[in-house]
């Protein structure tokens, strides 16, 4: 550890306190008796100002006021976390404090919904509906939230079944044919004994980005979700929480531009046959919103989940057992480079994930001076994935899933890489917290994870088939690997008075390694590529404070951190082989922090904001020594937002709501070579309307990206880009009964 670098990072964060605002304490999940914000991020109810962690929280009311409809909406309002949604509806890439996600890789955060962790990153994106609260924790959280919490955790709590009948509904209409509806009904089946809640959402979006060759939109989306929940009070001390959900989404996919494409003329959609790739040099800032592909692209995803949570409460604490099963299936297909009307080749990917998990957690009473948690976790995953390219014969892309089409007369398969992955993971964890004094708390946690990876290669793959691997499979088609890591964490929490919290912690985070698709590394000849991506580990030191002033009307939060990240992941796409490769950068140094203020100067007026800064530096990269010293890929240098909301009465029965905010997205490189950067930019959002004073209904209008800022939502080395959606606007009606 470099103490000079750590002190520099903390000094940087302290300086930022006088410059910017933060949403670290911006939203309320619930309120205690004294009106202070209460969160459950550490597994117990506590005031946000007393929780020794960097947490951003959003209550049900704040989710409604900010019109948070998707995960990208709350991520944009959280400092030092960003998301890229590209390629397909189930593909997203999160970066949190410099710890990044890549295509086909696992998330850097644990995503926990109602106590159940998501096991596939393809579950993450989609509509948020009927949500009670959202909490985002930054820094390693493995001891409490489990696997993949190397960078943090996202905890989402849906609304509970109720003992009285309730009905909530929300409908909206926007440009691009964007129609949404969300509804929930809740009540007792047997009063005080068995309660239910049924919620669902519907969305049809026609699209705003246009393919001029096909005269069709390319960003359309149809999404359907339903979720049912039963809560049974079996005895005075035993409860059962049973939940099931289903999601079905159809959308476009793979709507990229390949910037070096040279077209036959400025108005032509056909690539120049003499020099198809003699076009402009790649530029992450170059944006083109119209498309020329002869294939629109298609995408279908379905997610089915079921969970059972049993909790036994006793005088000394609780025993909780959570079982969950999921099935995620996604197929995406579209044109390939040069993404023109010329007949070149197509690309497709299919993934099927069937998994189940179980966690047993035993915890002491949170009111004890000495508090403890122990438990164990098991996950079984059966995952099949195939990637294919085919001859573009002018027809649509065939649905290549488990079987290649080598002999087909249309869309003949050119390359096919496929494998099954039968993986097992288990973990043991414990947490011990002790109040040394009434003002000083010390916590120590330890988690041990072990992942067993077992990949079975399809012998019909066009590359990478081991010698002796033939039809019928067998040992020659299989390869195995094991990854394990102990992850300690220590936290010191000092509360000199009710209005100030000081905290410091140190911890290690872990993300398992994994196999690339067989043959992908050999087919691409990318330096540093291999059949196996190494496990990632990150050591993080953090310090921060939380202060409440002016009788609770002013909150100031700040935290600084230093992370040494070993083997972070990097992604390369080679279209000619339909190959997607995960590589490791040997070592990256990260430091920065978050800072901010929330202020309520008068009743009804809230001023809020956020700012986060991350400095990244590649310290070691054997595959390309020239990249050492560069900024690490995918990591925005800074991010934040600032805004105000005013809710004021116009009569005793009606209020007016007005809200304005600005998002800041910092400069970002996309590869270790720093070949091209997307420059920093800002987005402006507005929302205003009327509501009843009792909160039973509201009618509002909204505009996102008011100035219609053009930018690329994704960029890949070589010039593969996807433009962001243009300005959106509409009206929304909500009612509660």
115-149 as b/e: b if 16+ CB within 10 A: bbbbbbbbbbbbbbbbbbbbbbbbbbbbbbbbbbb
189: phi > 0 → left, psi -120 to 50 → alpha, else beta; which?
alpha
| pLDDT at 4 (0 to 100) | 36
| pLDDT at 523 (0 to 100) | 65
Is 316 exposed, middle or buried, given 0-12, 13-18 or 19+ CB atoms closer than 10 A? exposed
Domain extent for 725: 3-390+418-736
Question: Which residue stretches of the chain have pLDDT < 50?
Answer: 1-35
What does the pLDDT look like over 172-214, one tens digit per residue? Answer: 999 999 999 999 999 999 999 999 999 999 999 999 999 999 9
The answer to whether position 402 is within a domain reads no
Is 294 exposed, middle or buried, given 0-12, 13-18 or 19+ CB atoms closer than 10 A? buried
| pLDDT at 582 (0 to 100) | 84
| pLDDT at 330 (0 to 100) | 97
| pLDDT at 37 (0 to 100) | 60
| pLDDT at 101 (0 to 100) | 87
Q: Dig out the tokens for 730 from the structure.
A: 């509409």
- Residues 457, 710: Cα–Cα separation, whole Å: 43
110, 179, 285, 289, 643 from 205: Cα distances, Å: 30, 6, 27, 17, 28
The answer to whether position 365 is within a domain reads yes
The answer to whether position 75 is within a domain reads yes
| pLDDT at 613 (0 to 100) | 97
- Residues 65, 644: Cα–Cα separation, whole Å: 11
Instruction: State the CATH number of the domain containing residue 100.
Output: 2.40.170.20
The answer to whether position 17 is within a domain reads yes
The answer to whether position 496 is within a domain reads yes
The answer to whether position 457 is within a domain reads yes
Q: Tell which residue, 142, 147, 155, 148, has the closest CA to residue 114.
A: 155
| pLDDT at 530 (0 to 100) | 82
| pLDDT at 45 (0 to 100) | 72
The answer to whether position 398 is within a domain reads no
Number of structural domains in the chain: 1
| pLDDT at 284 (0 to 100) | 96
| pLDDT at 332 (0 to 100) | 95
| pLDDT at 522 (0 to 100) | 67
The answer to whether position 409 is within a domain reads no
| pLDDT at 474 (0 to 100) | 80
What does the pLDDT look like over 630-661, one tens digit per residue? Answer: 999 999 999 999 999 999 999 999 999 999 99
What does the pLDDT look like over 535-590, one tens digit per residue? Answer: 999 999 999 999 999 988 999 999 999 999 999 998 877 666 666 788 899 999 99
């Amino acid at each position: 550890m470099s103490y000079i670098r750590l002190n520099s990072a903390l000094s940087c964060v302290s300086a930022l306190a006088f410059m910017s605002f933060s949403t670290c304490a911006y939203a309320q999940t619930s309120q205690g008796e004294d009106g202070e914000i209460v969160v459950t991020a550490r597994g117990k109810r506590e005031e946000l100002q007393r929780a020794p962690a960097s947490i951003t929280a959003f209550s049900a009311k704040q989710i409604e006021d900010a019109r948070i409809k998707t995960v990208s909406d709350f991520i944009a309002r959280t400092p030092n976390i960003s998301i890229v949604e590209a390629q397909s509806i189930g593909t997203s890439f999160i970066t949190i404090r410099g710890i990044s996600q890549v295509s086909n890789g696992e998330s850097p955060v644990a995503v926990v919904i109602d106590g159940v962790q998501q096991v596939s990153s393809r579950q993450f994106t989609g509509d948020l509906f009927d949500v009670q609260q959202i909490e985002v924790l930054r820094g390693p959280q493995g001891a409490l939230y489990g696997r993949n919490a190397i960078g943090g955790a996202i905890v989402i709590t849906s609304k509970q079944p109720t003992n009285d009948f309730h009905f909530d509904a929300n409908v909206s209409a926007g440009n691009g044919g964007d129609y949404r509806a969300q509804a929930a009904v809740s009540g007792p089946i047997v009063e005080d004994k068995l309660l239910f809640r049924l919620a669902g959402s519907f969305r049809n979006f026609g699209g705003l980005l246009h393919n001029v060759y096909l005269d069709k939109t390319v960003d359309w989306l149809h999404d359907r979700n339903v979720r049912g929940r039963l809560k049974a009070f079996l005895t005075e001390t035993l409860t059962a929480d049973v939940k099931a959900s289903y999601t079905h989404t159809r959308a476009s996919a793979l709507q990229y531009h390949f910037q070096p494409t040279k077209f036959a003329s400025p108005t032509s959609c056909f690539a120049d046959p003499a020099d198809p790739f003699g076009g402009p040099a790649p530029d992450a800032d170059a944006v083109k919103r119209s498309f020329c592909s002869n294939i629109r692209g298609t995408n279908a995803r379905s997610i089915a989940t079921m969970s059972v949570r049993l909790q036994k409460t006793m005088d000394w604490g609780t025993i909780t057992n959570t079982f969950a099963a999921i099935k995620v299936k996604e197929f995406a297909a579209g044109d390939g480079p040069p993404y023109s009307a010329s007949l070149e080749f197509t690309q497709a990917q299919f993934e099927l994930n069937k998994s189940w998990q179980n966690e047993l957690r035993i915890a002491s009473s949170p009111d004890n001076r000495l508090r403890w948690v122990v438990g164990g976790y098991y996950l079984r995953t059966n995952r099949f994935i195939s990637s294919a390219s085919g001859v573009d014969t002018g027809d649509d892309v065939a649905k290549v899933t488990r079987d290649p089409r080598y002999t087909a007369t249309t869309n003949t398969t050119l390359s096919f890489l496929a494998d099954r992955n039968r993986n097992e993971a288990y973990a043991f964890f414990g947490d011990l917290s002790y109040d040394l004094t009434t003002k000083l708390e010390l916590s120590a946690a330890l988690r041990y994870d072990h992942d067993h990876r077992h990949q079975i290669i399809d012998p019909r793959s066009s590359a990478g088939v081991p010698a002796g691997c033939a039809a019928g499979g067998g040992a020659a088609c299989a390869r195995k690997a094991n990854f394990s890591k102990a992850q300690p964490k220590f936290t010191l929490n000092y509360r000199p008075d009710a209005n100030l919290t000081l905290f410091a912690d140190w911890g290690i985070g872990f993300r398992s390694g994994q196999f690339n698709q067989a043959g992908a590394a050999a087919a691409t000849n990318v330096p540093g590529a291999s059949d196996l991506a190494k496990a990632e580990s990150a050591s993080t030191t953090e310090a921060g404070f939380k202060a409440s002033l002016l009788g609770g009307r002013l909150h100031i939060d700040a935290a600084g951190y230093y992370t040494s990240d070993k083997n972070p992941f990097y992604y390369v796409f080679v279209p000619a082989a339909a190959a997607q490769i995960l590589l490791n950068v040997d070592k990256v140094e990260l430091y920065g922090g978050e800072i901010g203020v929330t202020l309520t100067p008068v009743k009804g007026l809230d001023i809020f904001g956020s700012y986060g800064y991350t400095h990244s530096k590649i310290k070691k990269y054997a595959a390309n020594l020239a990249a050492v010293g560069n900024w690490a890929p995918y990591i925005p240098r800074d991010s934040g937002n600032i805004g105000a909301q005013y809710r004021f009465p116009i009569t005793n029965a009606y209020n007016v709501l007005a809200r304005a905010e600005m998002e800041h997205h910092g400069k970002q490189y996309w590869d270790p070579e720093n070949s091209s950067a997307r420059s920093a930019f800002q987005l402006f959002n507005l929302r205003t309307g009327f509501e009843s004073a009792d909160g039973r209904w509201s009618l509002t209008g909204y505009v996102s990206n008011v100035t219609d800022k053009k930018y690329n939502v994704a960029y890949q080395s070589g010039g593969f880009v996807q433009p962001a959606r243009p300005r959106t606007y509409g009206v929304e009606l909500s009612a509660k009964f």
